[in-house]
């Protein structure tokens, strides 16, 4: 089974910070056809903003960040969100992630902040960690 996902910004940042964790492993599989992932303009802008703000701490240049985001955009499924579901989540800054997940009819929002997405069951969505998704994909036991 191929899963459709939305990757929360915290997972991208975690992958950029360390090559040892589940987030990096998940992003290393981004073009493997084991899953598809959706992007929207607001999510890409957040990826860029947060990653560039933290780039020095991660040993990356702004050019490195732009290259990574360009690659993610090249292999991801681009979506335009036509309906806003606001306010819906505890953190209003996460609403656009939920809106993208609803628009793309994905299976999972992949995040480290599960509690921030606890009220998404009514949209037939589930928030899971990168490690949980890797387990479902058979990449770890």
Within a domain: 87: yes
Mean pLDDT, residues 23-46: 96
Within a domain: 51: yes
Q: What is the pLDDT of residues 40-72, one digit of tens each?
A: 999 999 999 999 999 999 999 999 999 999 999
CA–CA gap between residue 116 and residue 127 (Å, rounded): 9
pLDDT of residue 81: 87
For the chain, what is the domain count?
A: 1
Within a domain: 81: yes
pLDDT of residue 93: 75
- What mean pLDDT value characterizes the chain? 92
Domain enclosing residue 106, as ranges = 3-136
Within a domain: 86: yes
pLDDT of residue 91: 66
Within a domain: 16: yes
Within a domain: 115: yes
Mean pLDDT, residues 130-141: 93
CA–CA gap between residue 48 and residue 34 (Å, rounded): 25
pLDDT of residue 94: 79
pLDDT of residue 84: 64
Closest residue by Cα to residue 35 from 97, 128, 113, 121? 128
Within a domain: 141: no
Within a domain: 91: yes
Q: What is the CATH number of the domain that holds 95?
A: 3.40.50.1010
């Amino acid at each position: 089974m191929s899963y459709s996902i939305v990757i929360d910004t915290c997972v991208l940042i975690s992958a950029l910070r360390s090559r040892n964790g589940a987030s990096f492993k998940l992003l290393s599989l981004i073009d493997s056809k084991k899953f598809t992932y959706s992007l929207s303009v607001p999510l890409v802008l957040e990826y860029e903003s947060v990653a560039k703000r933290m780039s020095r701490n991660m040993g990356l240049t702004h050019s490195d960040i732009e290259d990574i985001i360009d690659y993610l955009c090249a292999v991801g499924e681009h979506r335009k969100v036509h309906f806003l579901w606001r306010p819906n989540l505890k953190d209003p800054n996460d609403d656009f992630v939920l809106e993208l997940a609803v628009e793309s009819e994905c299976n999972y929002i992949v995040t480290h902040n599960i509690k921030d997405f606890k009220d998404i069951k009514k949209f037939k969505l589930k928030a899971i960690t990168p490690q949980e998704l890797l387990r479902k994909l058979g990449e770890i036991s």
